[in-house]
Amino acid sequence: MSRAGSIVLLTGAGISAESGLATFRGAGGLWEGQRVEDVATPEAFRRDPARVHAFYNARRASLAQVQPNAAHLALARLERAWPGEVLLVTQNVDDLHDRAGSRNLLHMHGELLKVRCLRCEAVHPWTGPTSLDTVCPACGRPAGIRPHIVWFGEMPLEMARIEAALETCALFAAVGTSGNVYPAAGFVAGVRPGVPTVELNLEPSLVSSRFTDRRQGPASRLVPAWVDELLAGGIPA
């Protein structure tokens, strides 16, 4: 089936929920057990770096226990079927899209499995629990490593590429995100008039009304079915 144009996909914590990773908001969410102000801001890191390192070390440990689910795998299948036409932008810092096989993938909020030097800004793979004594492999200075995570109050990554893709895409889809956090929550408004937009989510998000198509249910059921529909019928007019 031919297709006309490119697709921008946005995912949030909901796509990883069925893999066993906590979302942020709602029952059992990460922000139930911790305050953003204590573990996910530059001020928190300046105030108590050990506490912030411990928060992310715990989240890294949970990654080793989980696997990509059918939703992650379906998005990777879509990218393979339509090479060069699919850009996946994720707010998630887990590596489940990477492990599922997605390649044209932007982690706009950073990645749990990477760390960054506070002094030389070099980004490195995470090689074990970080602490105040961790030395930067590039500049060799100690105590200068932070999680490669975009904290509240910091600029998301890759925004120029994301905005350019939104302005030219022929289809935008959001999976498993509550619409609480900008700029991601505003992406649906960044596409050209008339471009179809679809939201695949367990429950209505704060921006559901902005989408031309809204489907409710677990991502592991909705996403594979939606990908099958796309591959069979092409991008909806």
The binding site consists of 12-31, 56, 59, 91-94, 117, 120, 136, 139, 176-178, 201-203, 219
Structural contact between residues 210 and 193, judged by C-beta atoms closer than 8 angstroms: no
> Active-site residue among 72, 107, 109, 148?
109
Torsional sign, CA 107, 227, 201, 4: positive
Q: Considering only residues 6, 23, 130, 197, which one is a binding residue for ligand APR as defined by CB under 6 A?
A: 23
Rounded distance between C-alpha atoms, residue 228 and residue 30, angstroms: 32
Rounded distance between C-alpha atoms, residue 46 and residue 43, angstroms: 5
Q: What is the b/e burial string over 128-154, where b = at least 16 CB atoms within 10 angstroms of the residue's CB?
A: eebeeebebeeeeeeebbbbbbbbeee
Is residue 218 a contact point for ligand APR (CB under 6 A)? Answer: yes
Q: Considering only residues 19, 130, 134, 201, which one is a binding residue for ligand APR as defined by CB under 6 A?
A: 201
Q: Tell me which stretch binds ligand APR (CB under 6 A): 14-22, 47-55, 124-132, 164-172.
A: 14-22
Q: Given the complex with ligand APR, which of 1 and 155 has the nearer CB atom?
A: 155
Is 72 annotated as catalytic?
A: no
Rounded distance between C-alpha atoms, residue 232 and residue 80, angstroms: 15
Is residue 91 a contact point for ligand APR (CB under 6 A)? Answer: yes
Question: Least CB distance from residue 24 to ligand APR, whole Å?
Answer: 4
Active-site residue list: 109
